[in-house]
């Protein structure tokens, strides 16, 4: 059952390999909780009381509410699949009260920190140009690391000045390419094409040996590039670059719907989490407009 469900998510829903691994693990964890054997899979154990016990046991063991809600999402998706297959009549997870989780506000880098990075000189060798262009692409476009790793040379439409990006659920979107990023890309591609044979279908970014990027390569590149730069003393990751450009766009007057389209969010609710980060802009407007602030009171 679980294997068929995971294959359905892979082929029909185009879920990422990481999500498939997590969902399979969570569902088998539930079956192991009920029967002691993850491979003993019976639709008869998909009962609200047993699912509540699974939740309670997980929370008591110290699992966060966020992680437990992810496990419930996997079970709910699996149950929906079984309903469509005629294995069960209703989705039992919909009767479960989900643990309340505190909203964790996204971290981000300041515009000054980003300026500090891009003001540095970069060597003209392939590795240096590639690493700088990876960071520039992640920040300027807000794309996810998996989306960047999957880019082909043809995904950069020079004529229209944009990237065509394939995101979650195989959804495609277009992201404008800034003039500064265009310059970074052209310098990098000139060196790239001089070292490796390229076609429009070739990966846009490759390793030192000309192989397609893997996700940990992107992580390590960002961590290495931002190390030692003033303003990047905390966590250094591709996702924080994504948070940062979303915040900076909002602070500089971009509307939420535009940011939603650039980031590839499926709903506006996912984008609204960045509104808290526009506090500095709010503070500036507030102190400019407040009558007591203007009078020095």
Looking at 10, 152, 168, 182, which residue is catalytic?
168
Looking at 117, 188, 192, 274, which residue is catalytic?
274
Please answer whether residues 174 and 261 qualify as being in contact, where contact means their C-beta atoms are separated by less than 8 angstroms: no
- Count of beta carbons in the 10 Å neighbourhood of residue 275: 12
Separation between Cα atoms, residue 243 and residue 119, nearest integer Å: 21
Looking at 10, 152, 223, 239, which residue is catalytic?
239
Active site residue 239: yes
Looking at 144, 236, 248, 260, which residue is catalytic?
144
Structure tokens at 247: 């915040």
Looking at 71, 145, 242, 248, which residue is catalytic?
242
Structure tokens at 63: 């699992």
Active site residue 192: no
Active site residue 224: no
Active site residue 144: yes
Q: Please tell me whether residue 47 adopts helix, strand or coil conformation.
A: coil
Looking at 132, 145, 236, 265, which residue is catalytic?
265
Active site residue 100: no
Active site residue 274: yes
Note the Cα 187 to chain centre separation in Å.
Answer: 27
Separation between Cα atoms, residue 296 and residue 294, nearest integer Å: 5
Please answer whether residues 78 and 27 qualify as being in contact, where contact means their C-beta atoms are separated by less than 8 angstroms: yes
- Count of beta carbons in the 10 Å neighbourhood of residue 71: 21
- Name the phi and psi angles at 197, rounded to 5: -65, 130
Closest among 211, 228, 242, 230 to 147, alpha carbons compared: 242
Reduced 3-state DSSP string for 78-92: HHHHHHHHCCCCCCH
Active-site annotation, residues: 144, 168, 239, 242, 265, 274
């Amino acid at each position: 059952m679980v294997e068929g469900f995971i294959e359905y998510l892979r082929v029909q829903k185009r879920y990422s390999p990481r999500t498939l691994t997590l969902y399979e693990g969570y569902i088998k964890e539930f079956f192991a909780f009920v029967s002691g054997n993850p491979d003993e899979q019976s639709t008869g154990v998909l009962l609200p009381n047993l699912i509540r016990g699974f939740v309670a046991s997980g929370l008591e063991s110290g699992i966060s509410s966020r992680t437990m809600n992810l496990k419930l999402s996997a079970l709910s998706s699996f149950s929906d699949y079984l309903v469509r297959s005629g294995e069960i009549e209703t989705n039992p997870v919909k009767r479960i009260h989900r643990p309340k989780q505190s909203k964790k506000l996204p971290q981000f880098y300041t515009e000054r920190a980003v300026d500090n990075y891009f003001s540095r000189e970069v060597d003209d060798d392939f590795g240096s140009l590639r690493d700088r262009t990876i960071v520039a692409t992640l920040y300027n476009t807000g794309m996810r690391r998996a989306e960047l790793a999957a880019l082909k040379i043809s995904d950069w439409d020079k004529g229209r000045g944009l990237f065509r990006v394939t995101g979650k659920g195989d959804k495609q979107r277009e992201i404008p390419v800034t003039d500064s990023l265009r310059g970074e890309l052209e310098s990098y591609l000139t060196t790239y094409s001089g070292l490796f044979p390229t076609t429009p279908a070739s990966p846009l970014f490759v390793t030192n040996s000309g192989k397609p990027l893997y996700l940990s390569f992107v992580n390590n590149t960002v961590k290495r590039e931002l190390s030692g730069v003033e303003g990047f003393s905390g966590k250094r990751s591709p996702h924080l670059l994504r948070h940062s450009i979303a915040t900076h766009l909002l602070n500089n007057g971009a509307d939420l719907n535009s940011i939603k389209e650039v980031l590839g969010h499926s709903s506006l609710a996912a984008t609204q989490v960045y509104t808290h980060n526009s506090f500095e802009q709010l503070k500036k407007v507030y102190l400019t407009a407040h009558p007591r602030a203007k009078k020095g009171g």
